[in-house]
Amino acid sequence: MGSAVLAMAALLAACGGSSSDSNEKAGTYKVAVTDASFPAKQFIGQTSLMRIDVKNTGNRTVPTLTVTVDVEGKEGGEARIPFAIHDPQPGLAGPDRPVWVLAATYPRLAGSSEPGGAETSNAKTYSFGPLGPGKSVKAVWKLSAVRAGNYTLGYEIDAGLSGEAKAKTASGASPGGTFVTDITTALPETEVNAAGEIVEIKRGGKQ
């Protein structure tokens, strides 16, 4: 067992989390996505952070907070791995083509240097364990863009792994959202600012 897996097991044990759904209680649990961000403009080789913050707005503990991510559309839905599309060309040994590559030990909880989301039987779903009333999970994915194009990356929040526990917003909707991102092969123009930092030159003015 690798050190990253051991670290994940220790973290989940410390916070009472588990990737198992054996204690999942059927029902509807109220949550809200309080913040979500991912750069709309990226270039090949750029590493960016995807952040999703979720709060338990109900009065019961969410059995297992999960976040499922998928590149939207037919090709994304058919891919077996997250952050990828499926190449329909017949005879390919590995038809799934990554759009982004997830860094090792991610996702993490914001401010932590340890893994913070357990892998599940669905490679696109990450488990963050139980979430008490009023508590929040601030999850961070570190992603490197490797395929040019315009993509919509969707994410869905749920309350369990078996399908018996359902997450809903206060209005009764399924919590989640999308990021529309354009990945280009062209490197951005940069300059050195007054602080000696290399920064991107923004269109219509300097950063």
Q: Which of 16-20, 35-39, 62-66, 74-78 has the lowest mean pLDDT?
A: 16-20
Q: Which is nearest to 105 in space by CA: 93, 118, 92, 90?
A: 118
Whole-model pTM? 0.79
Nearest residue to 108 (alpha-carbon basis) of 116, 100, 99: 116
Rounded to an integer, the average pLDDT of 115-142 is: 94
pLDDT of residue 198: 58
* Mean local confidence (pLDDT), 191-206: 64
At 10 the pLDDT is 38
CATH of domain 3-200: 2.60.40.10
Closest CA to 64 of 130, 121, 138, 163: 130
The three-state (H, E, C) secondary structure of the chain, written as one string:
CCHHHHHHHHHHHHHCCCCCCCCCCCEEEEEEEEEEECCCEEECCCEEEEEEEEEECCCCCECCCEEEEEECCHHHHHCCCCCEEECCCCCCCCCEEECEEECCCCCEECCCCCECCEECCCCCEEECCCECCCCEEEEEEEEEECCCEEEEEEEEEECCCCCCEEEECCCCCCCEEEEEEEEECCCCCEEECCCCCEEECCCCCCC
